[in-house]
């Protein structure tokens, strides 16, 4: 029996037409990881329900029967370091890694997902085309357009597809630099027929995603996932999950959530409610009441990160009764100043009350998400996080406390995209670990070195593909990246430029030609609002 035999499908795949387009849809990681991705599930089902496509799935460890001559090869790209697996899979299929080296005998290689939508430029040389944004309408528009030019040569196909809103063909844009090691001078289409800018596509409906397959082989065994909300209304100024996915959208309770949950409960008793701010759904109380009905007493309920001031005793009790032992809350910092800088509308009193309510409702633990190295942060702000957690422990004795802590990483299309990573973050993580563990609070830091690599990729331009090719040979450690930069010295800016430098707000960013939900003028306005709360002397003054 294969892993595919264990799947319970919640959709009906189409029977492919005789002339159906052969497609490989890949996830650049193991099956257990890929099949747990709601985005991968939904895109796969969307493609598989089209009779004009014959879709085969590919993972790093298993695959369905693959076509000999695929016309389309797609990747769902969710984690930056999976790029290594993308290159490995291309080689295993005997497809050139670089798009410029492919010809009419090779499939068009396309990609989508959060990594590419945020900043595709470091990977631009690897993809023929990239789908930016939500797939609900974009996927069908892409396939329909491909059908129109299916028999054409490769270049004609790419030029035609570049006219579809949300489809980015990197080879049709030329990037010039002040020098090999300098800043970007311009990003422009190679001819007048190619769009000057590409707009990320945003689905605005109120029927959101839900699992299309349930399997015991998933990383989250037998879970059925339901998307409750998309984006986040809080707009923390560092947050890609909020700014890049605006506007905040909620699934209809009667038209989307309840029907989806009822479908899922026919095949499993484990439900996961997903979204960046699930409890801010306007009818979340009604959803809780629905799930609290006696017939669902055996349902195991999991919930994504919740907003602190929505943690009521009722919420905690409902979750505890449905098998949840802990909740996750993003607080970022115990410092009121830092929370003002990042626009985190939250007080320490609300954090403490959330812990009290969680314990009263029967939960045994809370995991807080924090961050160090936020622009404007000083040592006193890190000390404030320890003091806040001590206050929580005192107010809710017996509740197990965990702080998961990362380093600030600048993300495209956010007001903090111009800031670099603070090198002091590394020692602040070590200081927090010492302070919290001595106080009986579990501390789970994210690797500082991984944050450096993440920042490199999140702010990278096209020149970075040379580094990515080399690090694949050297390994994916920070030392491998430093070794690659040393070997490429003089051919691109150094590592510090991409990772630690603060950038001027008037310089051209790698994603300048890719439009997010908000214009740059709005991001700069939000940046200045943040700067008002700390000394911004290290940021280069913007033009105008």
Q: What is the mean pLDDT of residues 130-157?
A: 97
* Cβ atoms of residues 77 and 42 within 8 Å: no
pLDDT, residue 304, reads: 85
- Sequence-distant (6+) residues with CB within 8 A of 52 are 16, 17, 19, 20, 21, 143, 147
> Which pLDDT score is estimated for 538?
44
DSSP annotation of 309 reads: G
Q: Could you give the C-alpha distances from 30 to 37, 359, 454, in angstroms and in order?
A: 11, 37, 21
Report DSSP letters for 369-419, one per residue: EEEE--TT--HHHHHHHHHHHHHHHHHSTT-EEEEEEEE----TTSTTTT-
Q: Which helix (DSSP H) or strand (DSSP E) does residue 484 occupy?
A: helix 478-487
DSSP state of 254: I
What one-character-per-residue DSSP string does 48-100 give? HT-TTEEEEEE-SS-BPPPPSS-SEEEEE--SGGGHHHHHHHHHHTT--SSGG
Residue-wise pLDDT for 5-58, tens only, equals 999 999 999 999 999 999 999 999 999 999 999 999 999 999 999 999 999 999
**pTM: predicted TM-score of the whole model, two decimal places:** 0.94
Q: How many CA atoms lie within 13 A of 4 on its CB side?
A: 9
Confidence label for 311 from pLDDT (cuts 50, 70 and 90):
very high
pLDDT score for 544: 34
pLDDT at 543: 37
Helix (H) / strand (E) containing 496: helix 495-499
- For 1, the enclosing helix (H) or strand (E) is none
SS3 state of residue 539: coil
Distance CA 524, CA 540 (A): 12
Rounded CA-CA distance 265/224 in Å is 8
CA nearest 208: which of 172, 259, 157, 163? 259
Task: Tell me the three state secondary structure of residue 328.
Answer: strand
Distance CA(403)–CA(333), nearest Å, equals 10
Which residues, at least 6 apart from 223, have a Cβ–Cβ distance to it below 8 Å? 36, 211, 214, 268, 270, 271, 272, 302
Residue 124, phi-psi category: left (phi > 0), alpha (psi -120 to 50), beta (remainder): alpha
CA distance 262 to 289: 15
| CA distance between the termini of the chain | 65
Between CA 371 and CA 334 the distance in angstroms is 10
CA distances from 370 to 329, 388, 445, 484 (A): 9, 12, 9, 31
3-state SS, 417-476, equals CCCCCCCCHHHHHHHHHHHHHCCCCEEEECCHHHHHHHHHHHCCCHHHHHHHHHHHHHCC
Q: What is the pLDDT of residue 247?
A: 95
Average pLDDT, the chain: 95
Report pLDDT digits (tens) over 387-396: 999 999 999 9
pLDDT higher than threshold 60 for residue 378? yes
pLDDT at 477: 81
DSSP string, 24-53: EEE-SS-HHHHTT-HHHHHHHHHHHT-TTE
Task: Give the C-alpha separation, 150 to 529, whole Å.
Answer: 50
Percent of the chain topping pLDDT 70: 98
Q: Are 504 and 497 in contact (CB under 8 A)?
A: no
**Cβ atoms 60, 29 nearer than 8 A:** yes
Cα gap 409→225, rounded to integer Å: 28
For residue 536, pLDDT over 80 is answered with no
Asked whether the bond before 247 is cis by omega within 30 degrees of 0, the reply is yes
- The model's confidence at residue 533, banded by pLDDT at 50, 70 and 90, is confident
Asked if the model's pLDDT at residue 273 lies above 90, the reply is yes
Q: Is the CB of residue 28 less than 8 Å from the CB of residue 75?
A: yes
Model confidence at 500, in pLDDT bands (50, 70, 90)? very high
Q: Which pLDDT belongs to residue 305? A: 79
Distance CA 511, CA 142 (A): 22
What's the average model confidence in pLDDT over 443-464?
A: 96
Q: What is the pLDDT of residue 5?
A: 95
Of 200, 60, 50, the closest CA to residue 518 belongs to 200
| 145: CB partners within 8 A, 6+ apart | 160, 161, 163, 164, 167
pLDDT attached to residue 399:
96
Q: How confident is the model at residue 535 (pLDDT cuts 50, 70, 90)?
A: low
Distance of CA 186 to the CA centre of its chain: 27
Secondary structure of 151-174 as H, E, C letters: CCCHHHHHHHHCCCCCEECHHHEE
User: Residue 146 and residue 148: Cα distance in Å, rounded?
Assistant: 5
């Amino acid at each position: 029996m294969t892993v595919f035999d264990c799947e319970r499908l919640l959709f009906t795949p189409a029977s492919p037409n005789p002339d159906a387009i052969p497609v490989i849809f890949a996830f650049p990681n193991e099956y257990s990881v890929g099949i747990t991705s709601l985005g991968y599930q939904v895109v796969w089902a969307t493609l598989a329900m089209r009779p004009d496509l014959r879709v085969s799935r590919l993972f790093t460890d298993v695959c369905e029967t693959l076509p000999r001559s695929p016309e389309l090869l797609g990747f769902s790209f969710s984690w930056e370091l999976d790029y290594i697996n993308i290159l490995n899979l291309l080689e295993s299929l005997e497809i050139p890694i670089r798009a410029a080296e492919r010809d009419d005998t090779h499939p068009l290689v396309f990609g989508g997902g959060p990594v590419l939508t945020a900043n595709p430029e470091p990977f631009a040389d690897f993809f023929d085309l990239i789908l930016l944004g939500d797939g609900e309408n974009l996927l069908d528009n892409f396939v329909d357009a491909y059908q129109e030019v299916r028999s054409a040569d490769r270049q004609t196909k790419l030029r035609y597809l570049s006219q579809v809103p949300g489809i980015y063909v990197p080879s049709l844009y030329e990037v010039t630099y002040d020098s090999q090691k300098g800043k970007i001078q311009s990003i422009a289409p190679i001819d007048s027929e190619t769009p000057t800018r590409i707009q990320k596509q945003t689905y605005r409906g109120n029927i959101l995603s839900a699992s299309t397959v349930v399997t015991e082989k998933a990383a989250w065994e037998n879970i059925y996932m339901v998307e409750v909300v998309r984006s986040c209304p809080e707009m923390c100024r560092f947050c890609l999950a909020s700014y890049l996915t605006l506007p905040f959208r909620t699934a209809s309770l009667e038209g989307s959530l309840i029907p989806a949950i009822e479908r899922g409960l026919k095949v499993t008793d484990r439900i996961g409610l997903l979204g960046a701010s699930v409890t801010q759904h306007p009818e979340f109380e009604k959803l809780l009441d629905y799930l609290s009905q006696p017939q669902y007493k055996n349902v195991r309920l999991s919930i994504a990160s919740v907003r602190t001031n929505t943690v009521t005793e009722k919420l905690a009790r409902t979750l505890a009764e449905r098998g949840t032992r802990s909740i996750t809350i993003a607080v970022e910092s115990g410092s009121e100043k830092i929370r003002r800088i990042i626009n985190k509308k939250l007080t320490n009193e609300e954090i403490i009350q959330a812990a009290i309510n969680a314990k009263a409702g029967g939960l045994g633990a809370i995991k807080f998400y924090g961050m160090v190295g936020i622009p404007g942060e000083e040592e006193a702000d890190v000390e404030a996080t320890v003091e806040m957690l001590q206050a929580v422990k005192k107010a809710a004795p017996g509740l197990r406390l965990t702080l998961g802590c990362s380093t600030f990483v600048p993300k495209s299309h956010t007001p903090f995209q111009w800031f670099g990573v603070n090198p002091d973050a590394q020692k602040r993580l070590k200081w927090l670990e010492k302070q919290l563990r001595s106080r009986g609070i579990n501390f789970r830091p994210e690797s500082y070195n991984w944050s450096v690599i993440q920042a490199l990729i999140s702010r990278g331009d096209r020149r970075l593909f040379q580094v990515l090719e080399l690090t694949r040979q050297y390994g994916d450690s920070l030392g491998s990246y430093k070794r690659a930069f040393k070997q490429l010295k003089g051919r691109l800016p150094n590592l510090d430029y991409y990772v630690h430098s603060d950038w001027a707000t008037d310089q051209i960013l790698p994603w300048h030609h890719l439009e997010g939900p908000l214009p740059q003028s709005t991001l700069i306005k939000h940046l200045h609002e943040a700067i008002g709360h700390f000394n911004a002397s290290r940021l280069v003054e913007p033009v105008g």
